[in-house]
Structure 1
Amino acid sequence: MHGLTGFTITDRPVFGPQARVQFAAAYPETPVILRHDLAEHPLLTLDALAALAGKLPDTAIEYNRGDLPLGVDGKPAPTGIGIEDTIRHIAISDSWAVLKNIEQDPAYEALLLALLGELRGEIEAKTGAMLRPQGFVFISSPNAVTPYHFDPEHNILLQLAGHKVMTQFPAGDPRFAPDTTHESYHSGGPRELVWRDELAASGTAFAIGPGAAVMVPVMAPHHVRNGPVSSISLSITWRSDWSFAEADARCWNGVLRSAGLRPRAPGRWPQTNRGKALAFRTWRRLLRAS
């Protein structure tokens, strides 16, 4: 892949044949570590990322202290250091930062689409059209913690510099994220989850360093602990009709629960959740029309 907006992504595919076979077998529900070949890309150096942060809108930037517990109550407090200095001095700033929706910049959009394009066939064979591709870059100080949370996208986290351990928990299991928490999140609530120490024994730890990536199923609870040196990771994400239906079914369950009912949780893939999703979409249209 050459020549996208004037730079070379790589001389060969980022995901080799073995990684694609492993991904196809695991996607969308089984976490798996994959090998990748995206080392030392010029768009993903600290200086390039600091420059990107200076161009992104404030809504696309989140950063805070890195010395956090596994569970937090709401958004952590800011550090008082600007985002560009935070990134350039990440080795000593004791911080965690994320640049969201990097596809807002044309060069990063080209990189994101090229990476996802390598896996499009495997993705669409399972969950249909690849929808809403988005990219996120995480820059973390030594030993920084990303607290326990979940995300609504299909996700592959590529480790580029440093090492980290992502501990994942089964998606869709109310022991790790109650149904009411899912409903609240899909109705606009926070993604942070309540951590209890007794959950630890049920997690699966995935240790990744440069050249390794881990797939994260939709809404799989997880937390991340950085290693002893600073870290850069790239998260490439997408949605599917299935993931949107699951989200809307959760919203409909919230409506039913507010009416005093006790609805069953949506099913995990390959169940479609189409009935509840259509009910919520119809209800939402009627509210907007009234």
Structure 2
Amino acid sequence: MTDQPYPAEFARSDVSGVFTADAKARFALCYPETAHVLTHSLLQHPLLDLEALAHLGEQLPEKSLEYNRGDLPIGIRPEDIPSNGLTIGETIRRIDSANSWCVLKNIEQVPAYRDLLLTLLGELEDVTSATTGEMLRPEGFVFVSSPGSMTPYHFDPEHNILLQLRGWKTMTVFPAGDPRFAAPEAHEAYHSGGGPRNLPWDDALAAHGTDHRLEPGQAIFVPVMAPHYVRNGDKPSISLSITWRSEWSYAETDAHAMNSVLRKYGLKPAPPRRYPVNNLVKSYGYRALRKLGLD
């Protein structure tokens, strides 16, 4: 599939200067640990038109698609999320009235979208390389949401910038690394391969989140593993998420997995430290266990 040319009517156009100097300066000030809103100029790209995205959804493999009804609670188990009864193409083309939410995962599988992703990340690479080093494993995700739809409470392992392209939404972000908002056991289950990203929700948590309203032309940087949920506004929404990993984020992942091993032996390990502290001791320990097949 990755070798298929993308249809001419959705041909890519070159982009440059999507993030202004002011946006990059703010990003540099807050990266990598503080959620913050940026501005961008990526609003009319042909690859991000609704019909182009419907076509993309129909071309991606099933494992790269997630779509369901949008009227969800903040907290819900993945296995309890109801289907919307539509195909991915129908979901996107009818998003105004489909009462649905969908994400197209790993859009970089299509060369035109990979070019777009790498161009956008390239604008920020001088900032990230000075702190967390090389941008590793670049990935792109497109979210298409009906009015009022909800992305439940969860965390993500990547450094992430979400660009709002159409409609508006509010992302509520909680501090990363705080066990009040994501228990150590939830991180450990996820990073050792046995748990979901979705987190249990308690209304008592609401007062501790920070709401960030995103309009077209705005973006938000979300730190690694910062819990959050997203509520769409009263219009259909399109958002593009550009993500990357770093050696620091991989070390944190391994440290969580190592803690899972230690907990099996009745220990109560301290959670991984947040940036700028690295987690190399536990990371190297877990990588050694994995190489020996003892993880």
Question: Shorter-normalised TM-score: what interval?
Answer: over 0.9
Q: In the TM superposition, what is the alpha-carbon distance from 1:77 to its structure 2 partner?
A: 2.0
- 1:210 alignment partner in structure 2: 216
- 2:4 alignment partner in structure 1: none
Q: Distance in 1 between matches of 2:282 and 2:56?
A: 40
- Helix, strand or coil for the counterpart of 2:177? coil
Q: Are 1:24 and 2:28 matched, yes or no?
A: yes
| Residue pairs, 1:141-152, within 5 angstroms | 141-152=146-157
TM-score normalised by L of structure 1: 0.96
Q: Distance in 2 between matches of 1:185 and 1:245?
A: 15
Unpaired runs of 5+ residues, structure 2, are 1-9
Q: Are 1:171 and 2:176 matched, yes or no?
A: yes
Q: Are 1:102 and 2:131 matched, yes or no?
A: no
Q: Are 1:116 and 2:121 matched, yes or no?
A: yes
- 1:83 alignment partner in structure 2: 88
* Structure 1 segments (4+ residues) deviating >2 Å: 5-10
Q: Are 1:59 and 2:56 matched, yes or no?
A: no
1:38 to 42, 59, 75: 42
**Taking every aligned residue pair, what percent have the same amino acid on both sides?**
57
Q: In the TM superposition, what is the alpha-carbon distance from 1:78 to its structure 2 partner?
A: 1.4
Q: Distance in 1 between matches of 2:150 and 2:230?
A: 6
Q: Distance in 1 between matches of 2:256 and 2:168?
A: 35
Q: In the TM superposition, what is the alpha-carbon distance from 1:282 to its structure 2 partner?
A: 0.3
- Counterpart of 1:53, as a letter, is G
- 1:252 alignment partner in structure 2: 258
- Counterpart of 1:17, as a letter, is A
- Helix, strand or coil for the counterpart of 2:130? helix
Q: Distance in 2 between matches of 1:9 and 1:41?
A: 9
Q: Aligned residue pairs: how many?
A: 284
Q: In the TM superposition, what is the alpha-carbon distance from 1:37 to its structure 2 partner?
A: 0.2
Unpaired runs of 5+ residues, structure 1, are none
Q: Are 1:137 and 2:139 matched, yes or no?
A: no
- Helix, strand or coil for the counterpart of 1:287? coil
Q: Distance in 2 between matches of 1:258 and 1:29?
A: 30
- Counterpart of 2:219, as a letter, is A
What per-residue deviation string (whole Å, max 9, x for no partner) do you get for residues 122-155 of structure 1? 0111100100000000000000000000000000
CA RMSD, aligned part only?
A: 1.3
Q: Distance in 1 between matches of 2:12 and 2:62?
A: 27
Q: Are 1:271 and 2:277 matched, yes or no?
A: yes
- Helix, strand or coil for the counterpart of 1:206? strand
1:231 to 234, 237, 242: 237
TM-score normalised by L of structure 2: 0.94
Q: Is the Cα contact below 8 Å between 2:129 and 2:135 reproduced in 1?
A: yes
Q: Are 1:222 and 2:228 matched, yes or no?
A: yes
- Helix, strand or coil for the counterpart of 1:126? coil
What per-residue deviation string (whole Å, max 9, x for no partner) do you get for residues 187-236 of structure 1? 12100000000000000000001000000000000000000000000000
